[in-house]
């Protein structure tokens, strides 16, 4: 005989007695799903815009991920054209926001080497080292010069130089030096003084 008070049978008592933890697997999955959703919303953030011109199939503004290389920017612009001289560029250079990348042709690269610069114009070049804005005869190329290079021209300050670049980006390359007359702030007198110093 067993002493003590009898306890009624309870079907759920075994579970409570074992101390089994509730199944939270669905909750964990939901947490992971929520995290993935947040990651998906972040896709596309960190993109930078660069301007690719020269010997590429689709010149213009392209979007590349932050940390992308010059090679990535060229691919985003449709790839180099048949006459592009990629040996004159550093394809492994990391691009920066707002950078202009100019892909030279074989003829341009050869001309740059012949002029004594040693390298063809490319990303990050400066006027004193054979930059795209400087030509072999000393004139500033309106279609490739940076804002800084345009400021080397007489009576062209930062604001006017930026307007020249903005007009070029919006309207396409200058077809002739006289197109400068369409840039706000450049009148006949200033145009006449700039014509001997610039080219397209």
Q: Which of 119, 90, 84 is nearest to 103 (CA)?
A: 84
Averaged pLDDT, 125-151? 64
**Weakest-pLDDT range from 1-10, 51-60, 125-134, 171-180:** 125-134
Give me the pLDDT at residue 79, please. Answer: 94
> What CATH number is given for 133-200 in this structure?
1.10.150.320
As a whole number, the mean pLDDT across the chain is 73
The CA R_g of the chain, rounded to the nearest whole Å, is 32
Give me the pLDDT at residue 52, please. Answer: 92
The answer to pTM > 0.75 is no
| Cβ proximity of 182 and 200 under 8 Å | no
Q: Which position has the token pair 């400087």?
A: 134
Give me the pLDDT at residue 30, please. Answer: 39
Give me the pLDDT at residue 62, please. Answer: 92
For 31-69, how does the pLDDT look when each residue is reduced to its tens digit (9 = 90+)? 343 443 333 333 345 688 989 999 999 999 999 999 999
Averaged pLDDT, 88-117? 81
The β-bridge partners of 61 are 51
Residue 9: pLDDT band (50, 70, 90) is: low
Q: Which long-range contacts (CB under 8 A, 24 or more apart) does 61-70 make?
A: 61/169, 64/95, 67/94, 68/94, 68/95, 69/93, 69/94, 69/95, 70/94, 70/95, 70/101, 70/123
The answer, yes or no, to whether residue 145 has pLDDT greater than 80, is yes
């Amino acid at each position: 005989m067993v002493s003590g008070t009898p306890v009624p049978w309870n079907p759920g008592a075994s579970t409570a007695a074992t101390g089994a933890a509730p199944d939270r697997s669905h909750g964990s999955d939901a947490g992971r799903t929520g995290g993935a959703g947040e990651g998906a919303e972040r896709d596309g953030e960190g993109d930078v815009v660069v301007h690719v011109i020269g010997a590429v199939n689709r010149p213009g503004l392209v979007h590349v991920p932050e940390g992308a290389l010059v090679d990535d920017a060229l691919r985003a612009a449709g790839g180099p054209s048949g006459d592009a001289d990629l040996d004159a560029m550093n394809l492994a250079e990391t691009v920066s926001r707002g950078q202009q990348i100019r892909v030279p042709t074989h003829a341009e690269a050869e001309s740059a080497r012949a002029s004594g610069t040693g390298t063809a114009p490319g990303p990050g070049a400066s006027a004193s080292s054979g930059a795209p804005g400087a030509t072999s005869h000393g004139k500033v190329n309106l279609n490739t010069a940076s804002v800084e290079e345009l400021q080397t021209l007489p009576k062209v300050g930062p604001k006017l130089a930026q307007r020249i670049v903005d007009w070029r980006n919006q309207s396409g390359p200058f077809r002739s030096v006289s197109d400068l007359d369409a840039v706000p702030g450049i009148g006949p007198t200033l145009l006449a003084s700039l014509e001997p110093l610039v080219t397209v």
